[in-house]
Structure 1
Amino acid sequence: MFVSAEDSTPSFKGFTLILPAVSVGNVGQLAVDLIISTLNMPKVGHFHTDCLIPMVGNGPYSSLEQLSTNAEVYSHSDLKLAALQIRSPVLQNKGKLFRKLLVSWIKSSGFSRTVLLSSSHAYQRDDQQLKGPALRYLLSPALQDVGDTLRELGWAELEKVSVFPGINDSDKRHYIPGGGVTKGLYADCCAESVPLAVVLLFCSEGDNVPDAFTLTNHLNYWLHLLEKSPQGATPWKVPSSWRLLFGSGIPPLLF
């Protein structure tokens, strides 16, 4: 359930919603952090649910911010863009309910399209997925009209893989190991006629900051959220909270 930070509930009619899946390397969450920080998107509310592990922390984008929670909504009215930042994993056995709540909110809010940023284990790729770039996409039937645009950008659709490799190669399905709710939410949006695009990156656990930049750059090629600098690079603004992404430095007293 969406809870507004103001007295009146903001309108998201016709907005694009960007949200992450809690997946391998937290790539989607890092990418959403970059978008919110760079566009200086104000917080307009939070998504209240008991499906996520409870958490509270300092403001991730500025020392002047209030405390942050596990699922918060940010908005940029000029760009007609909203971002739902999810900061904690879904509780065990709560995935189906969480997806149902998300789909219900997306439909009732009137978002024109939803973009799910995700990732998947690179080491579990199929042979055909080893070719080309690590970026893949999926589109629900309600958003198939943007398929030509994505293909013109050089994006590849996520391939289906055999359920029983070498035994029955005719039975294929989408396989997204390490993708969290990605596959389930995609299936739900297909069934509910929700315009959804899944944009995911094959990666491995570790320092996934470069993967987050790769994902946001590709997303920017499509949505044109930010203009490139004269030097040709997209000037993403790293959140202040990333300074402690891997903890504090090594205590000098150890040496």
Structure 2
Amino acid sequence: MFKVGYFYTDCLVPMVGNNPYATTEDSAAELSINAEVYSLPSRKLVVLQLRSIFIKYKSKPFCEKLLSWVKSSNCARVIVLSSSHSYHCNDLQLCSCPFRYLLTPSMPKNVQNKIKSLNWKEMEKSQCIPGIEDSEFCVRIPGGGITKVLYKESSSREIPMMVLLKFVSEGDNIPDALSLVEYLNEWLQIIKPSVNDSTLSALPWKIPSSWKLLFGSGLPPALF
């Protein structure tokens, strides 16, 4: 995908760094900031990449500004890739597929039918106040950041949105990221599976060069 612009906002902690997707020394010198927009015209796909945390009390204004931009841009649909703390899972969730989805009411019927044909699991409702027996049931996404706010606001604004998330634990989440995007690819077919190789277990995603430094450099040989 190609960088096409920035999403300017005062809701995120400012940050600047080198290009995390650099493939050459020249491209490594490009600067990246906290919210950037990438595009893949051949798939009519636009991606907003967030790289910073929210300033206190600024997450909801950010969601409002983002959805206003979505509405004015006439996006056909919005997909939010997210996660939720696995230690909040109930017994049923622990023993089933770790992926869940949510659809806003305005999502087109053909998309709803397609998702049902994939046999994906919809996010279950749980007690709004855990541990209180007479508490009402609602959608909870603990550890999901702004995911629930985006979902609720999109529902009220009649924005067609899907939330696709995975139950995850703290640690090395690279396998989670790859499995989530492969799960999404079952629907969108961004990369089409090879018909000639039935043994292909993983699609040829390009791993960002910055992931090499996710846990820092290796142990210095001088230690030994």
Q: Same fold (TM over 0.5)?
A: yes
Which structure has more relative contact order (CA 8 Å, sep 6+)? It is 1
5+ residue gaps in structure 2? none
TM-score by length of 1: 0.80
Q: Deviations over 1:100-138 (max 9, x none)?
A: 110000001111000000000000113332231000000
Question: What residue is the counterpart of 1:51 in the other structure?
Answer: 11
Question: What residue is the counterpart of 2:143 in the other structure?
Answer: 178
CA distance in 2, matches of 1:228, 1:163: 40
For 1:78, what is the secondary structure of its paired residue?
A: helix
Question: What residue is the counterpart of 2:169 in the other structure?
Answer: 204
Pick which of 84-93 and 63-72 moved more: 63-72
Question: What residue is the counterpart of 2:73 in the other structure?
Answer: 109
Larger C-alpha radius of gyration, 1 or 2? 2
1:110-149 paired onto structure 2 within 5 Å: 110-143=74-107, 145=109, 146-149=111-114
Q: Report the count of equivalent residues.
A: 214
Pick which of 58-67 and 90-99 moved more: 58-67
CA distance in 2, matches of 1:46, 1:132: 39
8 Å contact kept, 1:126–1:161? no
5+ residue gaps in structure 1? 1-40
Pairwise CA RMSD of aligned residues?
1.4
Question: What residue is the counterpart of 1:29 in the other structure?
Answer: none
For 1:93, what is the secondary structure of its paired residue?
A: coil
Question: What residue is the counterpart of 2:208 in the other structure?
Answer: 239
Q: Which runs of 4+ in 1 moved over 6 A?
A: none
8 Å contact kept, 1:160–1:173? yes
TM-score by length of 2: 0.91
CA distance in 2, matches of 1:228, 1:243: 26
Question: What residue is the counterpart of 1:9 in the other structure?
Answer: none
Pick which of 134-143 and 230-239 moved more: 230-239
Question: What residue is the counterpart of 2:62 in the other structure?
Answer: 98
Shift of 1:148: 2.4
8 Å contact kept, 1:228–1:235? no
